[in-house]
Structures are given as C-alpha cells and as structure tokens.
C-alpha cells in the first residue's frame, strides 16, 4: 500500500463544495478530457461570462482541483485529479464499495487491458 501524499490535499469540504456546482464540474471535466486550457477557451466552452469562469476557477483552485500557469497574457489551467483523493477516501468509508466489489474489480481489470 503506497502512500504518496505529495501535496497536502485541500480540505475535503472544499472539494465537495467545489464539485457541487454543475458549471464547475463541467469545467473540471473539460479540463480532464481536453487537457490544459486557456480561460478564454473555457469561457467559450462554459456558457457563462469570462468573469464567471474566473470565479469558478478560483473556487476550484481553493480545492486544489486545478493548477494554473501564466504564459504571457493568457493563463492556462489544468486539472489536478490528485485533489479528488479526499472524496475517494470518503466514498471508501461511507460508500457502496463493499457491494459490487466483484463488478468493480472486473471493470477495473477490463480497463487495464
């Protein structure tokens, strides 16, 4: 059982709260799928104004779910899935993992090709 713990994970509270909003989840999903993105690109994707996107990114940042990298006049954001650990841990404790164990294992093995 390897315990990595590279960065101190944000409060579980922050993670749960950050992902409670659908727009924020959409942004995080987009970053996960498409990789690093400019605020401009994210604004085009999300159907809200640029300041709204900026504020959402701030919340995601607080939860450590995204990192940013300034490059000239644009800021590139990328997802930081490590930060989901508190949520995964929570689900380990209170979740339904004990059920479909076999299904999940099967599924896991399948995806490991």
User: Can you tell me the distance from the alpha carbon of 83 to that of 7, in angstroms, rounded to the nearest whole number?
Assistant: 9
Query: Do the Cβ atoms of 37 and 77 come closer than 8 Å?
Result: yes
Binding mask 1-40 for DNA (x = CB under 7 A): ----------------x--xx-x--------------xxx
3-state secondary structure 9-45: CCCHHHHHHHCCCHHHHHHHHHHHHHCCEEHHHHHHH
Binding of residue 69 to DNA (CB under 7 A): no
Which contiguous run of DSSP H or E holds residue 77?
A: strand 74-79
For position 7 contacting a second copy by CB under 8 A, the verdict is no
Task: Restricting to residues 44-73, name those near a second copy by CB under 8 A.
Answer: none
Please state the closest distance from residue 24 (CB atom) to a second copy, in A: 10
**81: alpha, beta or left, given left = phi > 0 and alpha = psi -120 to 50?**
alpha
- What, of DNA, a second copy, none, does residue 84 touch, CB below 5 to 8 Å by kind? a second copy
Q: Which one of residues 57, 63, 65, 79 is an interface residue with DNA (CB under 7 A)?
A: 57
Q: List contacts with DNA (CB under 7 A).
A: 17, 20-21, 23, 38-40, 43, 48-59, 68, 71-76
């Amino acid at each position: 059982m390897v315990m990595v713990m590279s960065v101190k994970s944000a409060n579980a509270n922050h993670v749960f709260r950050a992902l409670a909003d659908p727009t924020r989840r959409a942004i995080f999903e987009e970053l996960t799928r498409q990789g690093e993105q400019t605020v401009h690109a994210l604004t085009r994707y999300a159907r809200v104004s640029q300041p709204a996107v900026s504020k959402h990114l701030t919340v995601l940042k607080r939860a450590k779910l995204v990192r940013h990298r300034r490059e000239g006049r644009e800021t590139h954001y990328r997802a930081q899935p490590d930060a989901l650990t508190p949520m995964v841990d929570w689900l380990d404790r209170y979740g339904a993992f004990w059920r479909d164990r076999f299904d999940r294992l099967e599924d896991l093995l399948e995806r490991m090709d």
